[in-house]
Structure 1
Amino acid sequence: MKIYTTAPLEDPRKARTLYKELEDIGYDGGFSFEAKHDPFLALAVAAEHTTTLRLGTAIAIAFARNPMNLANLGYDMQSISGGRFVLGLGSQVKPHIEKRFSSTWSHPAERMREIVLAIKAIWNCWEGKGPLDFKGRFYTHTIMIPAFNPGPNPYGPPPIFTGGFGPLMTAVAGEAADGFISHPFNTRRSLLENTLPALQQGLTKSGRQRSDIEVMSATLVVTADTEEKLAASKLAARKQLAFYGSTPAYLPTLACHGWEGVHQELNRLSKEGRWDDMTDLIDDTILNEIAVVGERHEIAGKLRARLDGIADSVSITHNRCPDPGHWADVVRDLKKSA
């Protein structure tokens, strides 16, 4: 199992040292995410300070950009990193696409599929495999002249991963992408009952096999060195899960376990702005089903038990309470048990 993490990068200047730390710890990959800062710039810097670490976006917001723009970014990052880049794309949600980015939101799953296919068509053109002639419902790319054609990438085009939660977006990954990034608001049961069947539908549609795609499971990890720190980590996780659980889009995970009533109450409290009260609804049973919780020496085994037969790689995450040592001991334990 490959071991990744999404770097908690509040200060982009730390990209010079943070990703090197992850490489020295033994991570297979370090990813950025699009929040307060651009997800590509930090990785360009990180590429100059690392040699083996896989670098990727998990995720860059696809609908805030266009296929040609993403094709250029992905192609250049692949070259700069020496073939270590992963173009990870996600959709974000309608209000942010329309009101933050002033971009178009419509038919998100179909649009994401088309973005992936358009990027690959552009790369095929640059690789000399044929003229650029992509005509879709949302995007059209039919002109490419030598002045704007970078030619074949010395490392080949990078893989494209897409993130998703619902069945339609998950199926897009199976049909068109090279990898799938699962959402951390999942349990082993929801991954088995909801995610993998949707992924298989996409694979079947495109005539591909499960081995043709890498499944990366972003997994919320709750652990610490002391009881006090563990309690703080649990509280931060409960707050994060309460936020997710209040959103109708994430109901299917709770429904797998018969917890629809928890969602209804979380949703009601969120509309009243009662965020602290919401946290109390995430009891130990829910926390332990969604997150991997335990003493530090237990985490590696619990991660393997959670993802066995499901994922090819794990991305260790806890954005609201990041581990000060980047889970170095957990990575070591996972490597030992490989």
Structure 2
Amino acid sequence: MDAAVVGRLAQVPGAARTLERRGYDGCWTAEIDHDPFLPLTLAAEHTRRIDLGTSIAVAFARNPMTVAQIGWDLQEYSHGRILLGLGSQIKPHIERRFSMPWGAPVARMREFVAAMRAIWSCWRDDVPLRFEGDFYTHTLMTPMFVPAAHDHGDPAVFLAAVGDRMTEMCGEVADGLLAHAFSTERYLREVTLPTLTRGLERAGRQRADFEVASPLFVVTGRDEEELAAAAVGTRKQIAFYASTPAYRGVLDVHGWGELQTELHRLSRRGDWDLMGSLIDDAMLDTFAVVAPIDEVAQKILRRCAGAIDRVLIGFPETIGERDIIELTSTLRRGGS
């Protein structure tokens, strides 16, 4: 079981130590309102066991050389614990927020990963750097710019994917897939995993050699009042994602596609509270694990069984440390 580390850099050491003490397997950062890589340096310094990943860093806001170098340094410093999670983001953010080129995101991401691996091979195996693609070209590497060797291997590369083409390509070139929190169990099992399997088979790879990581909405508490309070924020999160046109396919699987149109209209007005109220109990139960604290671990295990290898969960602040340690222990054991 994994969790996210969010917030200011000064908060990261304590948060990462807490996750390790509570028995988590990994901590992830995200590129939202902070850089995704700087916190991992602090987390690496203040932990010894847990994996450290980005979920996600925006690939197309950078280039393969810069990400390869960050990944190499973090892998050495963490003694081989880095999960390099990359995502494409969407066109408006790439062009208008990052002022970077957009186009052919699946082909571009495939080439991004291949270019990084070529750079790492150059540094690790002392071979010439000769990568020439449609989007990226890396053919210069003088000795001054080659980092010192280390014995920790390349970082594992995880790619965020929702659509069929990105998911299939992920199965061909990546070490893991970062599923979206908005993926329901049905969508994951009926759409994502079969598509991923096609990519793995095309590359002659086995599912056992690949990890699927996914955040999971969890609504829990010690009584009905705490459950109801936890559900309010989760309904708003689900509504926010459901308003995005790119995620309509998930709703369509359940026959809820028309709701996306209405939620998108409300999102343009900034009517977030009303949007959350449109997520009824049936939708909440479909997108989230809803259960009291003494039942939630088993329900999470049933949701993940045979589908999700690494689950990222954030529990409500009302859940105490002792309960969280017990939950992480149960989930790591795979139940009782």
TM range (shorter): over 0.9
Paired with 1:103 and 1:224, the residues of 2 have a C-alpha distance of 43
Report the Cα distance in structure 2 between the residues aligned to 1:194 and 1:99, rounded to whole angstroms: 31
CA deviation map 1:123-164 (0-9, x unaligned): 011111632111111001111111111143221111111112
User: Does residue 1:57 correspond to 2:93, yes or no?
Assistant: no
SS at match of 1:155: coil
**Is 2:22 the counterpart of 1:22?**
no
AA in 1 matched with 2:40:
L
Report how many aligned residue pairs link the two structures.
Answer: 333
Q: Secondary structure at the match of 1:208?
A: coil
Deviation at 1:212, TM superposition (A): 2.4
Partner of 1:268: 265
Match of 2:76? 79
TM superposition shift of 1:270: 2.5
Provide, for residues 255-311 of structure 1, a one-character-per-residue CA deviation record: whole Å limited to 9, x for no partner: 111112222322233234432222121101111111111111211111111111112
Corresponding position of 1:6: 4
User: What residue is the counterpart of 1:258 in the other structure?
Assistant: 255
Aligned position for 1:287: 284
User: What per-residue deviation string (whole Å, max 9, x for no partner) do you get for residues 29-76 of structure 1?
Assistant: 111111111111111011111111111111111111100000000000
TM-score between both structures, scaled by the size of structure 2? 0.94
Report the alpha carbon displacement of residue 247 of structure 1 after superposing the two structures with TM: 1.2
8 A Cα contact 2:221 2:319, kept in partner: no
- Residue 322 to residue 215, structure 1, CA distance change in 2 (3 Å): farther
Preserved CA contact (<8 Å) 2:301 2:334: no
| Contact kept in structure 2, 1:128 and 1:152, CA below 8 Å | no
TM-score, length of structure 1 as denominator length = 0.93
Distance 1:323 1:215 in 2: 29
SS of the equivalent of 1:68 reads: helix
**How far does residue 332 in structure 1 lie from its aligned partner after superposition?**
2.4
The 1:316/1:130 distance shift into structure 2, 3 A limit, reads same
User: Equivalent residue of 2:43, what SS?
Assistant: helix
**Partner AA of 2:244 in structure 1:** T
Aligned match of 2:162: 165
Q: Distance in 1 between matches of 2:224 and 2:7?
A: 27
Q: CA deviation at 1:112?
A: 1.0
Whether the aligned pair in 2 keeps the contact of 1:224 and 1:230 (CA below 8 Å) is yes
Q: Does 2:176 align with 1:179? A: yes
Is 2:25–2:50's contact at 8 Å kept on the other side of the alignment? yes
SS at match of 2:33: coil
**Cα-Cα RMSD:** 1.7
- Tell me the equivalent position of 2:30: 33
Distance 2:66 2:154 in 1: 15
**Could you tell me which residue of structure 2 aligns to residue 206 of structure 1?**
203
Shift of the alpha carbon at 1:236? 0.3
More deviation, 83-92/143-152: 143-152
Secondary structure of the corresponding residue to residue 249 of structure 2: helix
Letter of the 1:5 partner, please give it.
A
Q: Does 1:224 align with 2:250?
A: no
